[in-house]
A and B are shown apart, each in its own frame.
Chain A
Amino acid sequence: MSDALLPQEFAELERWAATWCLATEPERWAQRMRSSMAELRAFYDAFFPRAEEAIAHCDRFPLDDMPPEAERLFQLLHSLLMVSYAVEVWKQPAVVHCGSARIDRVLEPRP
């Protein structure tokens, strides 16, 4: 038995799993807001080139019946998209010109 959280093919992403395998948007949002741009970029740069392969991997299983490793990879993909706005669009963790506004995601599909 290994302690791997992710599928073996994505072993190089293990170092991000503990931080970014998060099941809900509020958790992913909070993690983005408490991260530095250097941390967000490092995660994005490491994962984005393999994102297409990761989606294909998750697509081998039914959406509601993924093995735990694939489910965590799927969560990591959700986090990648959350982080992508900071890296690709705003160049900072927070939304540009959002003032003191806050929007909470109170319901989302599961799985």
Chain B
Amino acid sequence: MARFQKPAEGTWTEHYPELGRGLVSFDDSISPAFYEREREAIFKRAWLYVGRVEQLTRNGSYFTKELPGVRTALIVTRDMNGIVRAFHNVCRHRGNKLLWEGTPRDETRGSARQFVCKYHGWRYGLDGACTYVHQASEFFDLRKDELRLAPLHCDTWAGFVFVNLAREPRQTLREYLGPMVGALEGYPFHEMTERYSFRAENNSNWKVFSDAFQEYYHVPPLHTHQLGPTPEAQNPEYEFEGAHYQLDGPHRMVSTSGTHKHHWPAEHLYPSEALTRSGSTGPWDGPDLGATLPGVNPSRIPRWGIDNFQVFPNLEILIYERGWYVTYRYWPTSHNTHVFEGDLHFVPARNARERLAHEYAAITFKEYGLQDCGTLDGTQMGLEQGAFRSFLLNDQEILVRHFHKTVGDWVDAYAREQAAAPAR
């Protein structure tokens, strides 16, 4: 017996007929050649989420960001006029990486009035203008006033800082995000400044991990322990149903009813869930965010629990009914490896009890996330084995189907544009 009404067509997938309902190839996740095309067609043309404005607390704050899949390292800064800017993290003089601590491969953050190159001491203002050349008179035809760091298109939406590596992005950030994601603009993300950040280097194509987090069909079998300590709760045959699926351009989302453990009797809880009043869906006693939360639960499902927004290409925003949110990012490093970043954001704890509720949610995130990461090796190996060339996706996996179709569409569109462009 279905718990949630499906669209008039009978299934979510058929509600979007352009998706088809046939077998799906994952060759896009095992091919080095496809990966090369994907870097150009997607990661150098889409808007990419690189950090929150809260990471730039005041004028002069900066952080660096590595985008290894497109061989790009960034500086994101709030300049002395409060404008958020992004630059290639490269000195104009001889191409040295400008800002780094530890090793040039490590990301760093801090506060500065100017950026100074470690190599030959060139300096730059936070607006990117070169302000000092060491032994300037030794250079030839030097026009210091024209020397700048290489800027990147950078814009913020709802406190999320995005960059675009295209010379001229085809859409503004707001146009790109579209009405479905854009509707979240007034959600109080800015109040959730207490942050836990996680990082993993995984042996799979970046899309394989994204796939795992855009369907919940896997949850009862893989995360059997998640629902509770009792045999009734640990039912691997429990049938998951998403309450609402929605597509908007390259982006997609699912609303689910969540578990609402704060209504459960104690015997169905792990002792530490009862102690901390927290767990996989976050602290039970969340902050009061007011009655209206823009953009969330777009279809107004009863007993709403979680919204999972998949912002193309590699950002997931999970918004929980208890008033916190999580972001995931998947940064490709080769056709079969990627870096995963998970960030948990809470309204800052006011006391020890609230902090421990956040801590238990953060511990829980990692425990079950390790199960998701743990399967990735096996999925990538299985796909690369080539025993099957196409795969079965059910109606609860509609977002996986849409994701791979979108990736293919972007790569095809880029190839057509390249073919049509006059030779340079």
Contacts and interface: CB of A to CB of B under 8 A. Distances in A.
A30 interface: no
Interface in B303-345: 340, 342
A98 B197 CA distance: 19
B82 to A, nearest CB: 24
B197 A105 contact: yes
A12 B194 CA distance: 33
B370 A95 contact: yes
B37 interface: no
Given A95-B371, A96-B225, A98-B370, A81 B197 contact: no
Interface string B205-229: 0000000000000000010010001
B249 to A, nearest CB: 31
B199 A55 contact: no
Interface stretch (A2-10, A14-22, A35-43, A84-92): A84-92
A98 B373 contact: yes
B198 A84 contact: no
A77 B356 contact: yes
A25 B199 CA distance: 13
Contact of A107 (B195, B200, B351, B378): B195
A96 B155 CA distance: 42
A52 B272 CA distance: 10
Contacts of A48: 271, 275
B272 A99 contact: no
Contacts of A104: 198-200
Given A96-B225, A107-B196, A88 B270 contact: yes
Nearest to A88: B270
A55 to B, nearest CB: 5
A96 B363 CA distance: 15
B196 A109 contact: yes
Nearest to A101: B373
Given A95-B370, A97-B371, A98-B371, A105 B196 contact: yes
B116 interface: no
Contacts of A52: 275
Interface of B: 194-202, 222, 225, 229, 270-272, 275-276, 340, 342, 348-353, 355-356, 358-360, 362-364, 366-367, 369-371, 373-378
21 contacts: A59-B352, A61-B352, A63-B350, A81-B276, A84-B272, A88-B229, A88-B272, A89-B367, A90-B225, A96-B371, A97-B374, A97-B375, A99-B377, A102-B373, A103-B200, A104-B200, A105-B366, A106-B198, A107-B195, A107-B196, A109-B196
